[in-house]
Amino acid sequence: MSAQTPFAIKTNVEMGTYTMVNMKNSIVKSKANLHRTGRYAKLFGGMAVLAVTAAPAMAQTADCSFFEGKTVELIVPFNAGGGFDSYSRMVANHMGSKLGAQNMIVRNQPGAGGLLATNQTWVASAEGLLVQMMSTSGMLTAELGGADGVSFESGGFSWIGRVSGEPDVIAVGPNNKITSVDDIRAISAERKVRIGSSGIGDIDYIEAELLTTVFDLDSNIVVGFSGAPEVYASLARGELDLFVSSHSAGQQAQSAESARIMWLFDSEADPDFPDLEPIGAYLEGDDLALVTAHGDLVAGGRALAGPPGIPAERLACLREAFDQTMEDPAFLAESEATNRPVSPIGGAELADMISGLTENAPQAYVDLLRKSYQN
Amino acid sequence: MIEAALSGLLQVVSPYALSLMLIGIVIGFVVGILPGLGGPVALALMLPFTFGMTPIETFCFLLSTMVVTTTAGGITSILFGIPGEATAAAIVLDGHPMAKQGEAGRAIGAMLMASLLGAVIGAIAIVLSIPIIRPIVLAFGPPEFFMLTLVGLTFISVLSDGSMTKGLIMATAGILVALVGIDPQTAVPRYTFGLLELWDGISIVAIVIGLFGGPQILELMLSKSSIATGTASNDVRGIWQGFKDSFIHWNVVLRAGLIGAGVGIVPGVGGSVAQFIAYGHAKQTSREPEKFGKGSMEGLLAASGNNNAKDGGALIPMISFGLPGSVSTAIVLTAFLIVGITPGPAMLTEHLDVTFAMIWVTIIANVIVLLITIPLIKPLSRVTLVSGPLLAPFLLVLVVLGAYATHNSMHDVWVMLAAAAIGVLCQRFNWPKVPLLLGVVLGEICERYFFLSHSLFGWDWLSRPIVIGFAVIMAFIFFRAGRQAWLKTRQQGSPA
């Protein structure tokens, strides 16, 4: 029997993970993020730089009169009130006018952990008046893992740009004795290491499987929590040993004294979080490759995309409006004042990155995703 | 602590914060009155407007809407028999019969005062728990949550309207409905028939509106008369009588408030269940249980008194751990992050004034809504005199909109219509609706916490002290229900 849960099953999972770190200088850091998230993009480095520098010139020639007086719809695949929703509303608020559109409205279309909306956007009209805020890591793991209900190919969407992205971290309970990877291995020698997760197929489940594999642990992945806040409460009660979540959710829990963040779930250190040691430091060979592949995938973050086949000129307009929005002082001021940091990546580079991930993901990683979805 | 309480109060009553609260109250009142259109939707849409506000201003704006939607939802429940909010379903049971008897004003008065008193009880619960807030939240894990949902289910024995067998059948049907969706343990889609729309399960809001609203609308259309027959009594005098009623039955309101605050703490269980536990408890301990469902003041007060107390309860895990206890508090949590405050121990030290401000908002907003409603009672209760065939299409549009707005999906409208059909059949053949609703609401939580308890502790969780405490409460409820049933049969048997 197949067992698939693409994306986060429950919308409150999403609600629990959007918490944003206080990155006042996030904008300055976007360059560093670009560097970090662009391992695949590095393959296309020269191309990407060309694309970025060429973009304004191209945009100036692009005729965006199509959008004048029209309404652009921004689909949010989760309920109103969560992180995806608030980021989307912030973007829509500023991007519509840059596009020359009459307005840009947000429509929430929750269901099946984001899959419902993403499937519908995949077959929506490609005239350029409908775009979606994508949960890229969720859609990529679902696609690569062969999850039920996926009827899209991530690489095929018309990518407009990444709004924000952050790494995942490994946290332990506030009173837990774990201070090193050896401590985890020591627990594993005595009893099962308990790792929390919202549900099979969720990103935190895949990360729990990854930890089990790369550190060769005897683990019990406890699933069924309603979302990151509930797992962190369980961690605080001492019921669990480990949990992997977004950095911001971990940071939130650490401030609430529900957890201690121990490591970055990535192969390399992150210039944004210099104090955090990557677990890659303890790994080599195939294990390191697994964590690298996953880190790249998580870096996709929250990104805007339209249905496949948006005419090139209109896509250029959308990308230009997106880039302008990301540089707009009013947008950046709102982002900073409301603790919703952005770390933009342009559409062309993002598209290359996504295609690179789906086409070049290591087989061992794909196998692990398939195992996670078909437990 | 007193200093922080005063500082919080002063910041809440500053002109700007107070005006934001008034806006929040008006939004909450309108949204609350419209069936189905719920607090979470309103709060989500209000979030972007908090840009530039201070933390206390933000909470004045959002929390006032949150508590007022809950309170105002009761007005629709009383007047039309359709819950204005999912958390106001139990108010229908006795509030609407009162409106039919021409006592809409008195029922609304009692509901408003009980809600205010409930808010005060919830607020006191938070204040008292501040020193021990974190140990309390930590003492409750999945096993305790599971047992609490079981306690909720045992109230089916009280809420079955006479026939326990019918009640159990309906509850089982409700649990089967709750099974629809992705299995929380194995992630296998259950009863989804290949429809992605069913992966997240069946919308509880759509079920509540349909189950209660369907029969009411049909009845209005068929009866060709207004909701209240004859002339409504003097409604303004009625509201004062309602206020007095809530003080006369202060012990019912107090217990309902405590139950609300207690259940509100449990994440995911929240208001949809607290109201029925409070109602069931009031019925079981009442000297006149036979009046319940036919316009009992005690029933109305129990259903109203827990409503705002549970909002207070839900703030406890959110303030102390950032753990939202309901959909609405999850959105308020987003606001925390937007204004740059982190829930946790700092809320009990550095930001204690903000915590107190939140508590004050829950009370002051209820006082204001009470004052606003007094002049509105007369026109509102006149609606019960409007001819049914005129009113029914209007209500039908509202319930369809309400169901659609839950997830912006027609799917929920079909669910609502199906629930409406079930509601009509229940009414026609005299089957209880409440156990079905309890089954749907509790089924999912019950399953999730049961498996979590087992995954974490094996069977050792059965020996945890709070778990045993809940088991004793359940045994007591069963014993009492059994004894009452036995006494009833004996009474019925003795004259013969």
A3-21 pLDDT, tens digit per residue, is 333 343 333 334 333 223 3
Q: Domain holding A192: CATH number?
A: 3.40.190.10
Nearest CA in chain B to A83: B334
Adjacent-strand bridge partners of A105: A73
- Note whether residue A1 is domain-resident: no
Q: What CA–CA distances, in Å, run from A20 to A213, A234, B27, B172, B486?
A: 29, 21, 28, 42, 59
Domain boundary among A296, A317, A352: A296
pLDDT digits (tens, 9 = 90+) for A28-79: 334 344 444 444 444 444 344 444 444 444 445 578 899 999 999 999 998 8
Adjacent-strand bridge partners of A246: A168
Among A104, A33, A45, CA closest to A301:
A33
C-alpha torsion sign, points A195, A197, A203, A209: positive
Q: Does A224 lie in the same domain as A114?
A: no
Residue range A222-240: mean pLDDT, rounded:
91
A-B C-beta contacts closer than 8 Å: 178
Q: Does A193 lie in the same domain as A142?
A: no
8 Å CB contact of B330 and A22: no
Q: Does A184 lie in the same domain as A116?
A: no
Q: Is A207 exposed, middle or buried (0-12, 13-18, 19+ CB in 10 A)?
A: buried
Q: Does A201 lie in the same domain as A243?
A: yes
Query: Three-state DSSP class for A4?
Result: coil
Q: How far is B187 from chain A (nearest CA, A)?
A: 5
- Note whether residue A366 is domain-resident: yes
Domain boundary among A232, A266, A296: A296
Q: How far is B329 from chain A (nearest CA, A)?
A: 10
- CB-CB contact of B281 with A196 (8 Å): no
The rounded distance, in Å, linking the Cα atoms of B35 and A26 is 43
Please tell me what DSSP assigns to residue A101. Answer: B
Residues of chain B in contact with residue A246, where contact means CB-CB under 8 angstroms, are none
Cα three-residue angle B461-B257-A233, rounded to 5 degrees: 35
B162-170 own/partner pairs: CB under 8 Å, 24+ apart: B163/B432, B164/B485, B166/B431, B166/B432, B167/B432, B167/B435, B168/B435, B170/B426, B170/B431, B170/B432, B170/B433, B170/B435, B170/B436, B170/B439
| B268 vs A107, A111, A226: nearest CB | A226
The mean pLDDT of chain A is 83
pLDDT digits (tens, 9 = 90+) for B271-320: 678 888 899 999 988 888 888 889 999 999 999 999 888 888 888 888 88
Tokens of B95: 């509030």
- Note whether residue A157 is domain-resident: yes
Residue range A195-210: mean pLDDT, rounded:
92
- Extents of the domains making up chain B: 2-491
Give the model's pLDDT for residue A36. Answer: 42
8 Å CB contact of B321 and A232: yes
- Note whether residue A4 is domain-resident: no
Q: Does A41 lie in the same domain as A109?
A: yes
Please tell me what DSSP assigns to residue A129. Answer: S
Domain boundary among A264, A279, A296: A296
Adjacent-strand bridge partners of A195: A221, A242
| Lowest mean pLDDT across A46-55, A197-206, A290-299, B340-349 | A46-55
- CB-CB contact of B308 with B70 (8 Å): yes
A148 and chain B: CB distance < 8 Å anywhere?
Answer: yes
Give the model's pLDDT for residue B316. Answer: 85
Domain holding A122, by residue range, is: 11-165+299-373
C-alpha torsion sign, points A282, A285, A291, A296: positive
- Note whether residue A336 is domain-resident: yes
Q: Does A182 lie in the same domain as A149?
A: no
Q: Is the confidence at residue B493, as pLDDT, over 90?
A: no
**Of A185 and A148, the one with more pLDDT:** A185
The rounded distance, in Å, linking the Cα atoms of A336 and A113 is 28
Among B167, B179, B168, CA closest to B443:
B179
Q: Does A317 lie in the same domain as A203?
A: no
Q: Is the confidence at residue A157, as pLDDT, over 60?
A: yes
Q: Does A249 lie in the same domain as A307?
A: no
Please tell me what DSSP assigns to residue A159. Answer: E
Tokens of A134: 């994508």
Model ipTM over 0.95: no
| B187 vs A15, A199, A255: nearest CB | A199
A9 and chain B: CB distance < 8 Å anywhere?
Answer: yes
- Note whether residue A3 is domain-resident: no
Q: Is the confidence at residue B195, as pLDDT, over 70?
A: yes
- Quick count: other Cβ atoms within 10 Å of Cβ B193? 8
8 Å CB contact of B448 and A252: no
pLDDT digits (tens, 9 = 90+) for B333-368: 888 888 888 888 888 888 899 999 999 999 999 999
Q: How far is A325 from chain B (nearest CA, A)?
A: 17
Find tokens 């909470």 and name the residue: B59
Residue range B21-25: mean pLDDT, rounded:
94
Adjacent-strand bridge partners of A159: A305
The rounded distance, in Å, linking the Cα atoms of B424 and A33 is 58
The rounded distance, in Å, linking the Cα atoms of B380 and B105 is 9
Tokens of B265: 């703490």
Q: Domain holding A308: CATH number?
A: 3.40.190.150
φ, ψ at A237 (rounded to 5°): -75, -5
Q: Does A345 lie in the same domain as A239?
A: no
Residue range B436-451: mean pLDDT, rounded:
89
Q: What percent of chain A has pLDDT over 90?
A: 60
Adjacent-strand bridge partners of A108: A76
Q: Is the confidence at residue A210, as pLDDT, over 70?
A: yes
**Of A235 and A58, the one with more pLDDT:** A235
Cα three-residue angle B233-B235-B239, rounded to 5 degrees: 125
Find tokens 């108010």 and name the residue: B91
Confidence of residue A261 (pLDDT cuts 50, 70, 90): very high
Please tell me what DSSP assigns to residue A244. Answer: E
Helix, strand, coil % (nearest 5) of chain B? 80, 0, 20
Q: Does A292 lie in the same domain as A304?
A: no
- Note whether residue A6 is domain-resident: no
Q: What CA–CA distances, in Å, run from B495 to B287, B483, B490?
A: 22, 19, 9
Residues of chain A in contact with residue B48, where contact means CB-CB under 8 angstroms, are 86, 89-90, 93
| A81 vs B43, B343, B345: nearest CB | B43
pTM score, two decimals? 0.85
Residue range A212-229: mean pLDDT, rounded:
92
Residues of chain B in contact with residue A90, where contact means CB-CB under 8 angstroms, are 48
**Of A82 and B244, the one with more pLDDT:** B244
* Helix or strand holding residue B231 (H, E): none
C-alpha torsion sign, points B472, B473, B474, B476: positive
| Lowest mean pLDDT across A36-40, A87-91, A340-344, B355-359 | A36-40
- Rg (alpha carbons) of chain B, rounded to whole number: 22
Q: Does A261 lie in the same domain as A150?
A: no
The rounded distance, in Å, linking the Cα atoms of A50 and B86 is 55
* Helix or strand holding residue A341 (H, E): none
| B322 vs A194, A229, A234: nearest CB | A229
Please tell me what DSSP assigns to residue A10. Answer: S
- Note whether residue A252 is domain-resident: yes
Residues of chain B in contact with residue A81, where contact means CB-CB under 8 angstroms, are 40, 43-44, 47, 327, 330-331, 334
Q: What CA–CA distances, in Å, run from B371 to B28, B95, B116, B275, B396?
A: 15, 20, 11, 24, 30
Burial A214-224 (b: 16+ CB within 10 A, else e): bbebebbbbbb
Q: Does A319 lie in the same domain as A216?
A: no
Find tokens 């912030």 and name the residue: A90
Q: Is the confidence at residue B154, as pLDDT, over 50?
A: yes
For chain A, the domain total comes to 2
The rounded distance, in Å, linking the Cα atoms of B62 and B358 is 10
The torsion of the CA quartet B178, B180, B182, B188, rounded to 10 degrees, works out to 120
